[in-house]
């Protein structure tokens, strides 16, 4: 069975003056009964850093016919936990055909040379699970 995850529309979402960007697609497509990874990345402007002393937390709330393996991810779950700008591959599973949403609540700290500030971001990803051919 072919696993299909199509990133239909990628959206970086942060105001220009914040210095950070949460990169997550607005919409994905997944075949019914299939699993695939959703990419979630945190990027910061030059001169800023994501604190390695504070937690990076991603809470996931899947709706309806979409499921996730774990509802909470931390820096240790990143593709490269030691990376300056962590990226996550969030496993999704298409349980039933239809249109659903996956809500993300992301928390981390952005630091300049002398100060750090907390970031609390929420995003929603539209997930379409398509019926597999019979």
Query: Tokens 């990628």 sit at which residue?
Result: 10
Distances in whole angstroms, Cα of residue 118 to Cα of each of 36, 44, 97, 121: 30, 13, 38, 10
- In tens, the pLDDT along 30-52 reads 999 999 999 999 999 999 999 99
Describe the chain by its helix, strand, coil percentages, rounded to 5: 0, 60, 35
- In tens, the pLDDT along 64-81 reads 899 999 999 999 999 999
Give the Cα separation of 124 and 25 in Å (integer): 9
Average pLDDT, the chain: 87
CATH number, span 5-130: 2.60.40.10
Q: In terms of DSSP bridges, do strands 116-130 and 20-31 run parallel, antiparallel, or are they unpaired?
A: parallel
């Amino acid at each position: 069975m072919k696993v299909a995850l199509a990133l239909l529309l990628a959206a970086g979402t942060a105001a220009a003056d914040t210095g950070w960007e949460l990169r997550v697609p607005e919409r994905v497509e997944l075949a019914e009964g299939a699993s695939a990874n959703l990419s979630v990345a945190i990027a910061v402007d030059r001169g800023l850093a994501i604190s390695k002393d504070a937690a990076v937390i991603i809470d996931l709330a899947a709706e309806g016919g979409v499921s996730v393996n774990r509802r909470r991810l931390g820096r240790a779950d990143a593709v490269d936990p030691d990376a300056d700008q962590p990226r996550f591959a969030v496993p999704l599973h298409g349980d039933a055909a239809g249109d659903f949403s996956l809500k993300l609540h992301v928390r981390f700290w952005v630091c300049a040379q002398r100060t750090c500030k907390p970031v609390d971001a929420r995003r929603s990803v539209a997930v379409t699970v398509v019926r597999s051919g019979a």
